[in-house]
Structure 1
Amino acid sequence: MKESPFLRRAIKPQRPAKAPLSRDQIVQAALRIVRVEGIDGVSMRRIAAEFDTGPSSLYAHVANKDELLQLMFDEICGLMPVPAVEPGRWKEQILEMARDGHRVLLDHYDLARAALATIPTGPNALRISEAMLGMMLAGGLPPRVASWAMDRIFLYITADAYEMSIWRGEVGAAGTDRESFVAELGNDLMSYFEQLPEDEFPHLRKHAKDMVGGGTEERFELGLAMLVDGLDKYVTK
């Protein structure tokens, strides 16, 4: 007996319905992409492909890429420890928070770029700002000095992390490892400084080794120390 086509349609199994997306799922997918490919690898179409759907399904949760980047930045701010203020350790606590923030930014390629020329106001970013401002106030800094100093410190760690992401891209393009790339670049720069005319550039020529020496962590720590130690002159109590 021949099977009816109507019966075949009636008993054909259907694909299970997709679970609805959430904003958190979208943000986490974008973070997975940015860790490997950077901001330029993140697009609404690319993220939608991660969930086997179209970009339109994302817009119910995220308005555009700019909003997504801000959500991503605030998400990684949540990875930074926020300690309770200890007035006797205010400078040490600022250093610790700055190092933690820098480390988290470095772990996420060039996402630091999303924080430049913007004022992060997400809940996690606000908790970090509240804590650091409280540390500075507890250390005796006037509110305006504390507020501006916090801005400068955040700018320093963000800009440094972004620059490091650019170097990461250069290393990848060169097809070598980071240590070899840095060593070769340092040697080239030192040779260049050492052959400069001594009558015009005596200091650059004489101190060429110091100009290119030291690791990125050492240089970061020096800059951070100069910023934080310089706050002492503004303490009013």
Structure 2
Amino acid sequence: MPDVPEVPTPAWRTARKPARAPRRPPVTAEAIVDAALDIVDTEGLEALSMRGVAQRLGTGAATLYAHVQNKEELVELVLDRVNGEVRLPEPDPDRWREQLRESARQIRDVYAAHNDLAKAGFGKVPTLPNSLTAIEGMLTLLKAGDLPDKVASWAADLLALYTTSAAFEQGLLRLEEKRNPGATAEYFRQLGEFFHALPPERFPTLTGMLASMVEGDNDERFDFGVDVITLGLRAYADRMRAEEGTE
């Protein structure tokens, strides 16, 4: 079969160049943390994986390991990012109790906004910059209440457990509401019906206290816990000084 001669391109027509694939932005540690936090915010902590992060970034999991050693380190980086959202006040000894309450509520709300992320902090001691800054701020705030070092140090642990536990519960409810809108309200409605149906002759104390057991909103009940802790810290510090003769 004879060769077919090629048709020349007219001078007035520019030859088309092959389209180039759009360049992806380079994968950085910050981009990896952004993608990981987005997964937690949309699907919850259990959905977070190195493969899932890589898919969000349009790359392979191997690329991530150039910046992050493993999933455990990635979760630590995500926690540190979230701890960077906490803004503790400049301590004012005259407003110590109010500042402690406001700070505890802020920490709870920051974590609860990221679904069940608070669970990742249990049993871990933070060592990254934002986390250390938050610890420094809380210890400084506790010291503004004229607490001995031992009391302030242990109180920081106690408040961390209280705030993150409250955040975890609140975050779980938030995540469940995302997955099943209206399910949380329906659960508590059914729970209320169950308790009101309990026989008083068998559970006299419980049924007699039902009104007070459901009294107060989420913030009021949380603030109650912080106030109990705060009053206890002051009383414990005073007793400690009395026993040591340092009043």
Q: TM-score, normalising length from structure 2?
A: 0.82
Q: Distance in 1 between matches of 2:192 and 2:28?
A: 52
Deviation at 1:92, TM superposition (A): 2.1
1:187-202 → structure 2 map (5 Å cutoff): 187-202=189-204
Look up the SS of the partner of 1:117 in the other structure. Answer: coil
Which amino acid letter does the alignment assign opposite residue 52 of structure 1?
A: G
Change (3 A) 1:15 1:196: closer
Of 204, 208, 211 in structure 2, the residue corresponding to residue 209 of structure 1 is: 211
Change (3 A) 1:94 1:43: same
Q: Distance in 2 between matches of 1:127 and 1:157?
A: 17
Number of residue equivalences: 226
User: Is this contact kept in 2: 1:105–1:112, CA < 8 A?
Assistant: yes
Write the distance in 2 (CA, Å) between the matches of 1:94 and 1:140: 13
CA positional deviation for 1:227: 1.5
Q: Distance in 1 between matches of 2:155 and 2:70?
A: 32
Change (3 A) 1:87 1:190: same
Higher helix share: 1
SS at match of 2:87: coil
- The AA in structure 1 aligned to 2:163 is I
Whole-Å Cα distance in 1 between the matches of residues 22 and 197 of structure 2? 71
Structure 1 runs (4+) greater than 6 angstroms displaced: none
Partner of 1:7: none
Q: What displacement does 1:210 show?
A: 2.5
Q: Provide the rounded CA distance (Å) in 2 between the counterparts of 1:139 and 1:211.
A: 31
- What SS does the corresponding residue of 2:91 show, helix, strand or coil? coil
Return closer, same or farther for 1:134/1:172 CA change in 2, 3 Å cut-off. closer
**Matched residue type, 2:35:** A
Output the CA distance in 2 between the equivalents of 1:189 and 1:47.
38
Q: Deviations over 1:110-160 (max 9, x none)?
A: 111111111122111111111111122222111111111111111111011
Counterpart amino acid of residue 194 in structure 2: Y
Residue in 2 that maps onto 1:54: 60
Question: CA distance change for structure 1 residues 87 and 215 in 2, over 3 Å: closer, same or farther?
Answer: closer
1:107-118 equivalences in 2 (<5 Å)? 107-118=113-124
| 1:164-175 pair list within 5 angstroms | 164-173=170-179, 175=180
Residues 51 and 60 in structure 2, CA contact (< 8 A), matched pair in contact too: yes
Q: Which residue identity lines up with residue 31 of structure 1 in the other structure? A: L
Which letter does structure 2 place at the counterpart of 1:196?
L
Segments of structure 1 that go 5 or more residues without pairing to the other structure are 4-10
Deviation of residue 172 (structure 1)?
Answer: 4.3
State, as a whole percentage, how many aligned pairs show the same letter.
38
Instruction: Structure 2: give runs of 5+ residues left out of the alignment.
Output: 8-16, 242-246
Whether contact under 8 Å (1:85, 1:134) holds in the other structure is yes
Q: Cα 1:202–1:28, aligned 2, differ >3 Å: closer, same or farther? A: same
1:177 aligned residue (179, 182, 186): 182
Contact 1:190 1:208 in 2 (8 A): no
How far 1:94 moved relative to its partner? 1.7
Q: Could you tell me how far apart the structure 2 residues matched to 1:66 and 1:160 are?
A: 23
Matches within 5 A, 1:216-235: 216-233=218-235, 234-235=237-238
Query: Which shifted more, 94-103 or 62-71?
Result: 94-103
Residue 30 (structure 1) aligned with residue 36 (structure 2): yes
Q: Per the alignment, in what secondary structure is the counterpart of residue 59 of structure 2?
A: coil
